[in-house]
Amino acid sequence: MKINWGTAIVIAFTLFISFILYFVIKVQSDSKYDNDLVVEEYYKYDANFGEEMKRVQNAEDLVEKPVITAVEDGVTIVFPKALVPQKIKGKVSLYRPSNKKLDFEMPILLSNATTLLIPKKSLAGGRWDINMEWQYEGKLYLSKETIYIN
C-alpha cells in the first residue's frame, strides 16, 4: 500500500496534535504540575499597591531597620533596640513560591526581647519570601526579605 504525500501530511498533523493534547491534558489533571497564583485576589492586591509602597517607605526611612536572617535554629527577626518591644504589633507572612501549601503566618508577639524566632521545624528547605507587616505607635511598616533555608 502506497501513501501519497497529502495523506502523510494529514497523518503527521494528526499525530502532532494528539501528542500536544496528551501533554495539555496530563499537565491540567496531574496535581504534581500545580500552577497556583502567587496571590489569590491579585486585582484587590494591586489596588492597594500605593498603600503598600507607603508602608515599605516607612520601613526604609527608619534609621535602624529590622534585620531578618536565617540561623541554625530557624529565622530570626531582630527589631531595633530603640523600639519598645511591647508596642510592636503585626504579623509575619512566610510564602513558599514553589508550594502554596507550605505558606503560613504568625503574629509578632514580643515581651521584653526585640528578637522573634521562627523555628526551623516550621520551615522546609529552600526559598522563602518573608513579608512582615507591623506597626509601632500607630505608624504602619512593611518589611520584605527573601531567605534560603538549608
- The enclosing domain of 144 has a CATH number of 2.60.40.3760
| Same domain assignment for residues 25 and 47 | no
Per-residue confidence (pLDDT) for residue 1, from 0 to 100: 72
Residue 25 sits in the same domain as residue 55: no
**pLDDT(133) > 90:** yes
Assess whether 81 and 99 both reside in one domain: yes
Percent of the chain with pLDDT over 90: 44
Residues 15, 26: Cα–Cα separation, whole Å: 17
- Residue 66 and residue 143 in contact, taking contact as beta carbons nearer than 8 Å: yes
Domain that includes residue 67, residue range? 42-149
Tell me the mean pLDDT in the region 114-139: 90
d(CA 53, CA 49): 6
In this structure, are 91 and 128 located in the same domain? Answer: yes
The answer on 143 and 104 residing in a single domain is yes
Q: Are 87 and 118 part of one and the same domain?
A: yes
Beta carbons within 8 Å of 121's beta carbon, 6+ residues apart? 74
Please write the tens of the pLDDT for every residue from 48-89.
Answer: 788 889 999 999 999 999 999 999 888 999 998 888 888 999
User: pLDDT: is 20 or 41 the higher one?
Assistant: 20
Same domain as 80, residue 55:
yes
- The confidence score (pLDDT) of residue 3 equals 85
**Same domain, yes or no: 122 and 52:** yes
Judgement on whether residues 46 and 92 belong to the same structural domain of the protein: yes
- The answer on pLDDT for 102 being more than 70 is yes
Domain count, the chain: 2
Q: Are residues 73 and 58 in the same domain?
A: yes
What is the model's pLDDT at position 112? 80
Q: Which H or E run includes 77?
A: strand 74-78
Residues 56 and 28 in one domain: no
pLDDT of residue 48: 78
Residues 115 and 70 grouped into a single domain: yes
pLDDT band at 14 (very low <50, low <70, confident <90, very high): very high
According to the model, what pLDDT value does residue 47 have?
A: 75
When pLDDT is cut at 50, 70 and 90, the band that residue 26 belongs to is confident
Whether residue 32 is predicted with pLDDT greater than 80 in this model: the reply is no
Quote the pTM value.
Answer: 0.69
